[in-house]
Each structure stands twice: as C-alpha cells, then as structure tokens.
C-alpha cells in the first residue's frame, strides 16, 4: 500500500514539475509580436490582461496592445501551468523622410528624417547606396528602396522610400583646357541632347555644341546638363593675350617704326624678314622691300597677337606752276606717285585733292602736295608762289558790248620826281564771265593803269573807264604799290556816259611846242580828251587824230569843259564853255602840251591872250621850307595853285607886289606842281618842299 502511494506521489510530482516552464521576452512594443514557448508541449496560452497584450492560445504568439503589464500563462492538460510577466512599452517613430526622389549616377543627394538617431539602409546597393548620414549616392540607373530604422527600449520603427537613379552626364574635352583670350576649347557631352552653360560670362562663352571661347582672363566653369537634369562640370583656364600691336598697317621703306604691345616680356618676330625685319626684344621694325609681312608678339604663356603690315616704296613727286591764261590764278601741276593727292593748305585752291588745282594768292604762299594713295607712304613736294602781278577786273555799269575790246596800259610812277613811264600794255581777256587784265613779272614800284574801250565811236554817248573807287581820271587814281611778291588789284569800271543831244558842237586841237605856226608846234595824236559838264562829271571821251584834232558834236545847249589827259602830264581844263542858240559851237578849244614842265594848259587859237614863260625863274627858293617867293613883276597879279603828285590841289592863293611871299609851312615834304596864272603870262613849275 505504501509503495503504491509512493509511486502516485512520484508520478504526480514528475508531471507537475514538467509544466512549470514558460519562456519568452519580458518586454514587447505596442503593435509588435513575440513568440513564447512552454513545456511540456501540448499546453495552451492565455493573457491576464487582453487590453495590454494578447496571446495565441496554441502558438504562444503574443501581441502588444497597449502600455502595461500582462501575465502570460502556459497551462498543460494535466493542470500544471507556468507564467511569464510581459511589460508592453511604446513603439518609437521613424519619422518622415525628406530629400530628392531622384539622383544622377555618379552624383549624390542627401535625405533626412524628421526623427533622428536612426540607421539607413538600401535594398539594392548596386543601384544606390546610402551612408550613415543619409547621403545617397547613385551607382547605376534604376530604383532602390531606402529604409530608415529608429530603435528605443528594445523597440524599433522603420520608414522606407524609393529613390530613382538617373543616368549621369559626362564631359569629354578635346585639346587643352587652358587657352588664350580668343582661343577655343572643344567639349562634348554625354548622353547627347543636353544643354551647355558657362560662368562667369565675362570670362568665356559656350556654344550649343560645347565650343568654349575665351573672352577674358580667369577660370570658366562649364556645365553640361542632360535631358534628365543631370550635370557635369569642367573648368577651363583663359589666359590673357597681349594687347593689339601698335601702329598702322603699313610702313614706308626708309622709315623705321617702333611697335609696342603689353604686357612686357614677349618676343617679336616677322613672318617675312625679306620684306621687313623686327628686333625680337625692342619691336623696332625696319621696312626693306615692298610686300606684306605679319608681325607677331608672343608671351611666354604661348599667347600672342599679330599685325599684318604692308611695306611700300615712297614715290617721287614733282610740282610746277604756271600763270593761268586769263585770270588771277596760277595752275599747280603735280606729277609722280599714284595720282591720289592732297594739297595743303587748301585755302586759295579750286580743288584740294586734284592734280592741277588753280591757286589764287595775293602774297607769297607755299603749297605742299601729298601723295596719299600708297598706303600712307606718299611723298611730298612743295612749291612757293610769289604772285608778282598787277591785275584787275573790267566791269560795265550797263549792258556790256557783245564783244568788248579793251586795251590796258601799265604806267610806272616815280614819287621822287613825279615822272611817269608807260611800261607795258595788254588786251583784256575773258575769265569766265568777267573781263580781266593782268601784267606779270613786273619790278617793285608804284603803278597806275589806263584803259581804252576799242572799236567804239568816240565823242558820243559811250563807256568811259573809271579806276579804283570810280576815279574817272586815270592819273589821279590811287597808286598801286607793288612789291614784286604780291598780286595787286586795280579794278576798272566802264561807266556809261550819256551826252544830252542837241545842235551844239565843240572842237579843238592839242599841240606840243611853242604854239600854232611855229616850228615846234607838233600835233599830239591819240591823246584822250574828256568832255565834262560844269560840275566836272564826265559825259564822254574821244581821242585826237593825226592832226591833233578832236570833236564833240550833237551836244545839247548847256555848259561844258574839255579835259585832255596824258601820262606824265598834269592838265588844266578848259574854261567853262557855254553853248546856246546864240553861240551853238566852240570850235577852237585848244591845248598846249609843255614837255619841259609836264603840263597841259588851255591855249587860244589862233591868238593867245597869255604867253607861257618857259625858262624864267619866277618862284624861289626851290627847294623851299617855310616861305615861297613869287616874281610877280614878270606875271602881274598871280593866282597860285599848288597840287601834289596825285593832282590834288593843296593850296590856292593870290600873290602880288604887296604879298610876294607865301607861307608853305603847312605842306608836307615832297614834290609839288605850282601853277601860276598871272595877268601877263602863265607859268608851271615843279617845287620841292623840304
């Protein structure tokens, strides 16, 4: 009996002892599961608090439901059991992943989570890898799942995201990556179809094909972006080039040039030394033969600049001049060179860039002809013009004759002794639309000019020549002071003189000698005789014939005077001649030309009321200074008229026995003509005032 009881106790003890094991984690996270094991097999599981943890009855898989502690019990059929205390704790958050969902192969992108402290992993490292800091590096095209896991108190949470790896861009460079300004670097991008850009734009530019051109010194960052947005970047160095070579693009044989460029330290060279050589260190260029050469200035960096230079020979120029056939100018002629000329100074020339301009100058002028047609290497030649001419235009106050024929005389005047000499004469020519005369190559001196309109009927209404500022008498016009190096003008204006018509008649003679009927009474032919009105206005003129006779006919009744002129003679006009119905003519208005005293005086024909004293001394002293005495005993009461050498009356007075001395202190030093008209005789003499 005791042995049976002992066996039962031992049996029950063995059974109960085997049901006492239940194993598994003492902690789990909310929402996570764990498997618990119990021995012996065949038992069932239960939870003391299903709101904290549940457990599968047969499998022992427990799931955390909420925070707290639950007892998990494993019970065998025999009634034995075992328990495990399980604490359910909170599950951590892995957060939200941020970052680009794409990355280029060969490039990287960085991801992050809103919760720190986790670990990263890539499902497909052959496509993309991820580092501990979340840097994702594209390895090959494709996709990979990136996981981020956060663990806390034995619990963990994982968040995942897919990253797409696109094919990357690459750049292949042909040639050097360091070029001079103006040089180029050739790049190609892969895969094709992308776009190019460069920064900074002041250093370089890039074309759509990847050709980079250097613009300024510096480093250019060149980027190629493919159609996926992936980029590749290379750097090109742009080196400064020398500045442009100084100087023009031509050089003249016989003239050296110094060329410059910067920075210093470069080497000079000429492509064709036979055309021109250049000193390698100084840049001094010497032209040798006509042709073209290229000058190069190179820096140690290899950057260089060039300049093409054309070498030209200097031509030879010749300049001559000749007076124009009719006109005040001189024709300049330049020969030689290329035919492309420029004249300096251009003033006074009809053309500043032609072969044969006409120069109009009044003083000595030097002109320079420049040949600029040979690339700036034209020669120069000069010519100096000394005009040396007396000239003038002949105009008409009214309608000019259809073919005017005018002869002009050049009269030289000596202011010392008042002598006048006919030096030359010429026929006026037509310069353009102007009647013109000139005398070339005359010596320095004082001159007057005298003109005559030929081929007209003298003594009737016609043109009368005037001189200078409308001086009708040629020998009282302003004297032309000529220096033989100037062009001096005296214009002549033909004024149309109108004679009032009527039955009147004036005629007379001009003789040289003692008087009519004497051996030395010689007719003066060709002398100009003016007809003036009572106020001295010239109406017309005529000329004496071979017999010394002149005639004015068809005159209206009125008052007139006759005034003959001749160079080197001074004239006293006739008395006022009054024509009327009772005395319609004045036929014997004569004049005597006195060669010894140089005067023309009225002379009555055939008898004279006054004789002319020729050789007697009737005034003294001569030369005189302040006082002049008149021998009135020979002349009687005398009218004294003193004229200067221009014919201007400077003094008129009356001398008699009571006042034979005249005060001439007011007269300037010089030569004068004194005309004495007395009751017994007339006398004309020259007076020198000192």
CATH number at residue 261: 2.60.40.1080
CA atoms within 13 A on the CB side of 296: 12
Q: Quick one: average pLDDT of 284-310?
A: 93
467 within some domain:
yes
Residue 382 has a CB neighbour count (10 Å cut-off) of 11
Alpha-carbon span 125 to 138, nearest angstrom = 9
Q: Quick one: average pLDDT of 109-123?
A: 93
159 and 178 fall within a common domain: no
Per-residue confidence (pLDDT) for residue 458, from 0 to 100: 53
Backbone φ, ψ for residue 11 (5° rounding): -65, -50
599 and 631 fall within a common domain: no
**In which band, very low, low, confident or very high, does the pLDDT at 387 lie, cut at 50, 70 and 90?**
confident
Per-residue confidence (pLDDT) for residue 126, from 0 to 100: 95
User: Is the model's pLDDT at 164 over the cut of 90?
Assistant: yes
Alpha-carbon span 234 to 580, nearest angstrom = 124
Provide the residue range defining the domain that includes 450: 389-496
Per-residue confidence (pLDDT) for residue 685, from 0 to 100: 75
Per-residue confidence (pLDDT) for residue 332, from 0 to 100: 93
496-512 per-position pLDDT tens digit: 777 778 888 898 889 88
404 within some domain:
yes
Rounded mean pLDDT of the chain?
A: 83
**In which band, very low, low, confident or very high, does the pLDDT at 520 lie, cut at 50, 70 and 90?**
low
594 and 617 fall within a common domain: no
304 and 228 fall within a common domain: no
User: Is the model's pLDDT at 2 over the cut of 60?
Assistant: no
Q: What percent of the chain has pLDDT over 70?
A: 86
484 and 418 fall within a common domain: yes
Per-residue confidence (pLDDT) for residue 183, from 0 to 100: 87
Q: Quick one: average pLDDT of 302-318?
A: 90
Angle at 500 between CA 497 and CA 505, to 5 degrees: 105
Q: Say which CATH number the domain at 409 has.
A: 2.60.40
174 and 185 fall within a common domain: yes
Per-residue confidence (pLDDT) for residue 614, from 0 to 100: 37
535-571 per-position pLDDT tens digit: 877 788 888 888 888 888 888 899 999 999 876 677 8
Per-residue confidence (pLDDT) for residue 91, from 0 to 100: 83
**Domain final residue, candidates 123, 141, 166:** 166
For the ranges 246-250, 313-317, 567-571, the lowest mean pLDDT is seen at 567-571
User: Is the model's pLDDT at 124 over the cut of 60?
Assistant: yes
627 and 593 fall within a common domain: no
486 and 513 fall within a common domain: no
**In which band, very low, low, confident or very high, does the pLDDT at 513 lie, cut at 50, 70 and 90?**
low
CB 342 within 8 A of CB 317: no
Q: What percent of the chain has pLDDT over 90?
A: 36
Counting Cβ atoms within 10 Å, is residue 48 exposed (0-12), middle (13-18) or buried (19+)?
A: middle
Pairing relationship of beta strands 599-604 and 570-571 according to DSSP bridges: parallel
**In which band, very low, low, confident or very high, does the pLDDT at 448 lie, cut at 50, 70 and 90?**
confident
131 and 152 fall within a common domain: yes
188: three-class secondary structure by DSSP: strand
228 and 308 fall within a common domain: no
**Domain final residue, candidates 263, 286, 312:** 312
598 within some domain:
yes
245 within some domain:
no
User: Is the model's pLDDT at 438 over the cut of 50?
Assistant: yes
27-57 per-position pLDDT tens digit: 888 888 899 999 998 999 999 999 999 999 9
Per-residue confidence (pLDDT) for residue 19, from 0 to 100: 45
355 within some domain:
yes
For the ranges 73-87, 211-225, 233-247, 555-569, the lowest mean pLDDT is seen at 555-569
User: Is the model's pLDDT at 10 over the cut of 60?
Assistant: no
126 within some domain:
yes
Per-residue confidence (pLDDT) for residue 519, from 0 to 100: 44
Per-residue confidence (pLDDT) for residue 516, from 0 to 100: 42
Angle at 472 between CA 469 and CA 476, to 5 degrees: 80
Highest-scoring range by mean pLDDT, 133-142, 378-387, 498-507: 133-142
**In which band, very low, low, confident or very high, does the pLDDT at 61 lie, cut at 50, 70 and 90?**
very high
136 and 229 fall within a common domain: no
514 within some domain:
yes
For the ranges 183-192, 274-283, 483-492, the lowest mean pLDDT is seen at 483-492
Q: How many helices (H) and strands (E) does the chain have?
A: 2, 68
Domains of the chain: total: 8
User: Is the model's pLDDT at 489 over the cut of 70?
Assistant: yes
582 and 633 fall within a common domain: no
**pTM exceeding 0.85:** no
**Domain final residue, candidates 216, 239, 262:** 239
418 within some domain:
yes
């Amino acid at each position: 009996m005791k042995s049976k009881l002992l066996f039962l106790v031992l049996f029950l003890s063995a059974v109960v002892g085997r049901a006492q094991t239940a194993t598994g984690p003492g902690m789990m996270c909310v929402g996570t599961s764990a498997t618990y094991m119990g021995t012996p097999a065949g038992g069932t599981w239960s939870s003391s608090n299903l709101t904290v943890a549940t457990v599968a009855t047969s499998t022992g898989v427990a799931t955390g439901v909420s925070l707290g502690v639950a007892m998990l019990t494993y019970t065998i059929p025999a009634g034995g059991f075992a328990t495990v205390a399980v604490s359910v704790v909170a599950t951590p958050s892995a957060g939200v992943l941020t970052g680009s969902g794409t990355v280029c192969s060969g490039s990287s992108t960085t991801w992050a989570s809103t919760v720190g402290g986790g670990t990263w992993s890539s499902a497909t490292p052959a496509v993309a890898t991820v580092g501990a800091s979340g840097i994702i590096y594209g390895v090959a095209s494709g996709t990979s799942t990136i996981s981020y896991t956060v663990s806390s108190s034995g619990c963990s949470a994982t968040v995942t995201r897919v990253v797409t790896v696109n094919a990357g861009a690459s750049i292949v460079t042909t040639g050097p990556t360091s070029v001079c300004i103006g040089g180029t670097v050739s790049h190609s991008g892969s895969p094709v179809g992308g776009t190019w850009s460069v920064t900074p734009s002041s250093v370089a530019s890039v074309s759509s094909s990847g050709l980079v051109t250097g613009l300024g010194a510096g480093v250019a960052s060149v980027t190629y972006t493919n159609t996926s947005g992936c980029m590749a970047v290379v750097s090109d160095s742009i080196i400064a080039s020398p500045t442009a070579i100084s100087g023009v693009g031509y050089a003249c044989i016989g003239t050296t040039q110094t060329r410059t460029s910067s920075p210093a330290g470069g080497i000079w060279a000429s492509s064709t030394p036979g055309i021109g050589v250049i000193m390698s260190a100084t840049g001094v260029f010497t032209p040798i033969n006509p042709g073209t050469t290229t000058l190069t200035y190179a820096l140690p960096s290899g950057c260089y600049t060039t300049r093409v230079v054309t070498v030209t020979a200097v031509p030879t120029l010749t300049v001559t001049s000749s007076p124009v056939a009719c006109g005040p100018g001189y024709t300049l002629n330049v020969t030689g060179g290329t035919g492309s000329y420029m004249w300096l100074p251009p003033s006074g020339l009809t053309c500043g860039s032609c072969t044969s301009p006409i120069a109009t100058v009044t003083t000595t002028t030097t002109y320079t002809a420049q040949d600029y047609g040979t690339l700036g290497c034209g020669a120069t030649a000069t010519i100096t013009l000394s005009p040396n001419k007396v000239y003038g235009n002949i105009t008409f106050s009214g309608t000019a004759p259809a073919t005017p024929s005018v002869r002009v005389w050049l009269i030289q005047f000596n202011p010392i002794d008042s002598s006048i000499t006919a030096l030359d004469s010429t026929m006026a020519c037509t310069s353009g639309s102007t009647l013109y005369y000139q005398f070339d190559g005359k010596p320095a001196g004082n001159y007057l000019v005298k003109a005559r309109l030929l081929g007209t009927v003298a003594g009737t209404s016609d043109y009368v020549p005037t001189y200078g500022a409308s001086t009708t008498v040629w020998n009282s016009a302003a004297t032309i002071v000529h220096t033989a190096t100037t062009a001096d003008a005296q214009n002549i204006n033909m004024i149309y003189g109108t004679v009032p018509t009527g039955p009147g008649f004036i005629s007379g003679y001009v003789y040289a000698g003692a008087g009519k009927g004497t051996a030395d009474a010689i007719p003066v032919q060709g002398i100009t005789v003016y007809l003036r009105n009572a106020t001295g206005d010239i109406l017309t003129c005529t000329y004496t014939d071979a017999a010394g006779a002149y005639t004015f006919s068809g005159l209206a009744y009125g008052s007139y005077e006759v005034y003959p002129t001749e160079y080197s003679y001074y004239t006293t006009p006739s008395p006022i001649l009054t024509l009327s119905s009772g005395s319609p003519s004045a036929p014997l208005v004569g004049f005597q030309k006195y060669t010894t005293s140089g005067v023309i005086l009225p002379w009555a024909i055939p008898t004279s009321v006054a004789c002319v004293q020729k050789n007697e001394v009737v005034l003294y002293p001569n030369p005189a200074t302040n006082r002049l005495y008149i021998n009135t005993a020979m002349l009687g009461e005398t009218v004294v008229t003193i004229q200067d050498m221009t014919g201007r009356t400077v003094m008129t007075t009356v001398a008699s026995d009571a006042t034979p001395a005249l005060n001439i202190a007011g007269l300037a030093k010089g030569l004068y003509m004194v005309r004495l008209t007395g009751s017994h005789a007339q006398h004309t003499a020259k007076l020198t005032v000192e």
